[in-house]
């Protein structure tokens, strides 16, 4: 980790720990015996973190490593975390179960992977045509979203934190041209979460495949297309060698938040100052990861276009309009499925109504002034 980044994250976490450890902090559910009461008893903890990412994979795996390192250093070694990439301890899509069962105390993954276990969780990762990274952070940190996320995970014995954000993603790699709505029908595509459900309703066949298997699946024709993250990660996997067309924008994930989940009993066992360090290190790592993705996506896109002659394509407006209509219908149906889902959707919508006018005359207006690529 870059020294300046660590000093900033550790300093923020340390200061917050001193100020917040003995207070009643949102998300803190430690028992009275575990809180600091002005000082710590010096107890140490050794935790395991399992992830859904290949070990040390750029942006995703390295983001999990960075979080673990920050917590370990900021706590002066009182909370040591060892990271296990996908398949090193558990398979990539078993992170939720592993943390819930106590096989590992922490997990690093994407909330949309758990739609079969907690369908509401998908709202806290990537909603098609939804919020940008900046907007999502605002909803979670100050708009009531985090409290709802905690409510979703509580019955599963888990405590969630936002731990990363990839920013806007790409639409994906395709071996079939997308010129109209008809081209979506029968399309076999790796796409998880709500985006996958939207594609299914458009006539496609979504599937979820761990990242390490994407290249082979695309190359052998098991799938026709795949989304992954963006140029940074796509270049690392060499997906440009397995597909012809690179489509944008990433309508399905406009600002994807990734999670750190913690076993509830393990969380309760931490004294208040260590809880504060975990909380603040997660928050600092979100900004660190978004900065990492933004910079390296730009570099990687340049490499893909100039060195590998990748054919960049924009989805036709007809296709995007159709997918957006399906997405809005899906959201309304989900909101009617349960009282909790309805409250999450209402909060999500109310927050968007507040920030959209500002986004329109600030970020969007300024971006429109920039020259075309």
- Looking at residue 222, the DSSP 8-state letter turns out to be S
Residue 70 located in a structural domain: yes
For 37, left (φ over 0), alpha (ψ -120 to 50), or beta? left
Residue 323 located in a structural domain: no
CA distance 158 to 152: 9
Beta-bridge partners for 247: 172, 313
Q: How many CB atoms lie within 10 A of CB 63?
A: 27
What pLDDT was estimated at residue 150? Answer: 98
Residue 183 located in a structural domain: no
Residue 180 located in a structural domain: no
- If one counts the domains in the chain, the total is 1
The SS3 call for residue 107 is: strand
The boundaries of the domain holding residue 32 are 3-165+255-294
For 246, left (φ over 0), alpha (ψ -120 to 50), or beta? beta
Residue 319 located in a structural domain: no
CATH code for the domain in which residue 42 is found = 3.40.190.170
What pLDDT was estimated at residue 131? Answer: 96
Residue 123 located in a structural domain: yes
Please list the pLDDT of the chain residue by residue as tens digits (373 residues). 443 444 344 444 444 444 344 334 444 444 333 444 334 567 999 999 999 999 999 999 999 999 999 999 999 999 999 999 999 999 999 999 999 999 999 999 999 999 999 999 999 998 999 999 999 999 999 999 999 999 999 999 999 999 999 999 999 999 999 999 999 999 999 999 999 999 999 999 999 999 999 999 999 999 999 999 999 999 999 999 999 999 999 999 999 999 999 999 999 999 999 999 999 999 999 999 999 999 999 999 999 999 999 999 999 999 999 999 999 999 999 999 999 999 999 999 999 999 999 999 999 999 999 987 6
What pLDDT was estimated at residue 10? Answer: 43
- Looking at residue 154, the DSSP 8-state letter turns out to be G
Residue 287 located in a structural domain: yes
Residue 207 located in a structural domain: no
Please measure the distance between the N-terminal and C-terminal CA atoms of the chain and give it in whole angstroms.
Answer: 32
């Amino acid at each position: 980790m870059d020294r300046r980044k660590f000093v900033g994250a550790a300093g923020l976490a340390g200061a917050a720990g001193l100020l917040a450890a003995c207070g009643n902090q949102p998300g803190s559910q430690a028992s009275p015996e575990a809180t600091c009461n002005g000082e710590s008893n010096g107890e140490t903890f050794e935790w395991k973190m399992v992830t859904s990412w290949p070990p040390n994979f750029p942006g995703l795996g390295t983001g999990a490593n960075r979080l673990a390192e920050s917590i370990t250093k900021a706590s002066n070694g009182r909370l040591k975390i060892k990271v296990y990439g996908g398949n090193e301890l558990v398979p990539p899509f078993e992170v939720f179960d592993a943390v819930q069962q106590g096989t590992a105390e922490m997990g690093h993954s994407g909330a949309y992977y758990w739609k079969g276990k907690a369908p509401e969780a998908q709202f806290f990762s990537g909603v098609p045509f939804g919020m940008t990274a900046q907007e999502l952070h605002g909803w979670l940190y100050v708009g009531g979203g985090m409290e709802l996320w905690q409510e979703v995970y509580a019955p599963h014995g888990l405590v969630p934190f936002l731990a990363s954000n990839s920013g806007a993603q790409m639409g994906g790699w395709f071996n079939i041209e997308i010129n109209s709505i008809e081209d979506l029908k029968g399309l076999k595509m790796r796409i998880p979460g709500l985006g996958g459900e939207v594609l299914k309703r458009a006539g496609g066949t979504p599937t979820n495949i761990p990242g390490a298997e994407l290249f082979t699946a695309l190359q052998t024709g098991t799938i026709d297309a795949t989304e992954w993250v963006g140029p940074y990660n796509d270049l690392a996997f060499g997906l440009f060698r397995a597909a012809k067309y690179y489509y944008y924008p990433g309508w399905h994930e406009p600002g994807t938040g990734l999670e750190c989940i913690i076993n509830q009993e393990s969380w309760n066992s931490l004294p208040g100052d260590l809880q504060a360090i975990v909380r603040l290190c997660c928050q600092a790592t979100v900004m660190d990861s978004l900065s990492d993705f933004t910079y390296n996506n730009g570099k990687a896109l340049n490499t893909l276009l100039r060195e590998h002659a990748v054919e960049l394509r924009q989805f036709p407006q007809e296709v995007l309009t159709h997918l957006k209509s399906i997405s809005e219908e899906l959201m309304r149906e989900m909101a009617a499925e349960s009282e909790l889902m309805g409250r999450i959707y209402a909060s999500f919508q109310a927050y968007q109504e507040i920030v959209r006018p500002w986004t329109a005359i600030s970020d969007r207006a300024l971006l429109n002034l920039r020259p075309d690529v």
